[in-house]
Amino acid sequence: MSRPRIRCAIYTRKSTEEGLDQAFNSLDAQREACEAYIKSQAAEGWVLVPTAYDDGGFSGGNMDRPALQRLLAQVDAGLIDTIVVYKIDRLTRALSDFARIVERLDRRGASFVSVTQAFNTTTSMGRLTLNVLLSFAQFEREVTGERIRDKIAASKKKGMWMGGVPPLGYDLPTDAMTRALVVNEAEAEQVRTLYRLYLELGSVAALAQQLEAEGWLTRVRVSRKGNHSGGVPYSRGALFHLLKNRIYLGEIIHGELSMPGRHPAIVDPDLFEAAQQRLRAVLSSVDGPCTARVNLV
């Protein structure tokens, strides 16, 4: 009597997109190891489902991953019997997410296998071992997060730009050692013009109206994944944030603290302080916080 077929799907993941453009990358290495393991189980009826489920550039800290969601949908539809991963943390690094995944697999009588770790989720002992392992993995992830936050705070104290979208007037650092924002001269002049216009018009609302009438649009940005943002009229909230941004004084912001940055200032301190005085005057001239918010932004 022949053994029933066990339909196996391989899931691979890498947290960053670094190196994914190589001819043989981390996802390929994971898949190759999983394919070899499935072939070794051919006598048990294991067969590989040809569809690839690869999440390159997605964190294992949550389940918001397109390939994982497609894979789980196939499991729910009864089309997959076993999920095969290189290591458990490729599937998830969060204990709560792991519990939800196992529950979904159980509902369809499916399971998952790690080719580098001998675990069988069909037994209570196997699940206990997995829970312990994932608890340590989650602990390691949290400790790593704390270390990263500490490193960012220390680097900002040295005036370095530590990632994110640079404000209007600056481009990303080109020197990995100094990590200093680079002045974009054309945009820097736009920023100074916005400060002067605000002082002339007297309110953020009036400034937003004039900019829209003149056809001013926010800077267009393209993410690493090719997504476009910006290119829209300035909102009052965006203008208020720009007028309050101390980065234009050559400072770096960390939380509610500001410290000297390694990048040049692009707004004169007197011009910046005049804008702050005007903003404070608007706040103090109204009766309540709700009215202030409306008049100010």
For residues 183 and 188, give the distance between their C-alpha atoms in angstroms, rounded to a whole number.
Answer: 7
Does this chain's domain 6-143 share its CATH topology with 170-296? no
Q: With 80 as the cut, is the pLDDT of residue 77 above it? A: yes
* Residue 242 burial (C-beta neighbours within 10 Å; 0-12, 13-18, 19+): buried
Q: With 90 as the cut, is the pLDDT of residue 242 above it? A: yes
The string of pLDDT tens digits covering residues 102-138 is: 878 888 889 888 888 766 665 676 667 767 766 766 6
- Token couple for 146: 């704390």
Alpha-carbon 77 to chain mean position: 30
The string of pLDDT tens digits covering residues 36-74 is: 999 999 998 999 999 999 999 888 888 889 999 999 999
Q: How far apart are the first and last CA of the chain?
A: 76
Q: Who has greater pLDDT, 158 or 297?
A: 158
- Prediction pTM value: 0.49
The string of pLDDT tens digits covering residues 252-268 is: 887 777 788 889 999 99
CATH 3.30.70.330, applies to 6-143: no
Which of the listed CATH numbers 3.90.1750.20, 3.40.50.170, 3.90.1210.10, 3.40.640.10 matches domain 170-296? Answer: 3.90.1750.20
DSSP annotation of 114 reads E
The mean pLDDT of the chain is 84
H/E stretch holding 190 reads: helix 185-201
As a whole number, mean pLDDT of residues 136-158 equals 70
Q: What angle do CA 145, 147, 151 make, to 5 degrees?
A: 115
Question: Where exactly are the structural domains of the chain?
Answer: 6-143, 170-296
Query: What proportion of the chain, given as a percentage, has pLDDT over 70?
Result: 82
| 3-class SS of residue 172 | coil
Most confident by average pLDDT, 19-28, 160-169, 241-250, 287-296: 241-250
| 3-class SS of residue 241 | helix
For residues 97 and 192, give the distance between their C-alpha atoms in angstroms, rounded to a whole number.
Answer: 48
| 3-class SS of residue 106 | helix
